[in-house]
Amino acid sequence: MTPYQTEQLQTLRMVRRYLAQISEAERETLKEGLSDYLAFRNAVDAFQEHYFRDICNRKCYQNKLSACCSRDGIIIFFAEVIINALMADSAALERLQDVLTHLHEGFKCVFLGHEGCLWRIKPIVCEMFLCDAAENAVLKENPVARKRWDALVRQKKEYTWPDRPVLFDTLEQICIEAGYTSPLMFCHNSPGLLRVKRQGIS
């Protein structure tokens, strides 16, 4: 196991322990708190499907290149592990744990399975990634799409950028108060994000 796999595995196990320890009603409350974010994610999905399906099919999916998933060690926030664990079934979470416990070789992301990404709600950094070729081919020629995409990129910050109370920070805080800690709690341990928080609050 790589250090990345170990960190991811420990966090996933911790999140599953936390979710198992709280009541069904508390889990439902957490899920209800995701509704805006999931609606945003659906909007991003719809946008990608509408504007990028053809080019991504042509360039990557038909030849199984999955160039988007050729990176190893992508940044994943702690909150994303909770969100995914709340939305995925236990078989899907077992599958994630399984790939994290096996030797990972090659240049593809450890979470890339035969049918695509193993996450139910994949990390936001993956969801919002556009390669230069795709971005230039679609957004350069289409100001309406450009404007819509820029709005979605701005909207992402409403959930992730802690210059105000945001979902990603809140989910970390809930687990910290329950006695858990993880290196993936970037809203609480990244010097850059802590600075953003301080400046946002002042």
Sign of the torsion angle spanned by Cα atoms 147, 152, 155, 156:
negative
Does residue 134 bind ligand SF4 (CB under 6 A)? yes
Contact pattern from residue 142 through residue 181 relative to ligand SF4, giving x for each residue in contact according to CB under 6 A and a dash for the rest: ----------------------------------------
- Which of 12, 3, 4 shows the shortest CA–CA distance to 120? 12
Q: Which of 19, 117, 128, 176 binds ligand SF4 (CB under 6 A)?
A: 117
Alpha-carbon distance of 35 to 17, in angstroms, equals 23
- State the minimum distance, in angstroms, from the CB of residue 62 to ligand SF4: 11
Q: How many residues bind ligand SF4 (CB under 6 A)?
A: 22
Alpha-carbon distance of 124 to 126, in angstroms, equals 5
Does residue 111 bind ligand SF4 (CB under 6 A)? yes
Q: Which of 14, 15, 30, 56 binds ligand SF4 (CB under 6 A)?
A: 56
Residues in the chain: 202
Does residue 86 bind ligand SF4 (CB under 6 A)? no
Alpha-carbon distance of 50 to 38, in angstroms, equals 18
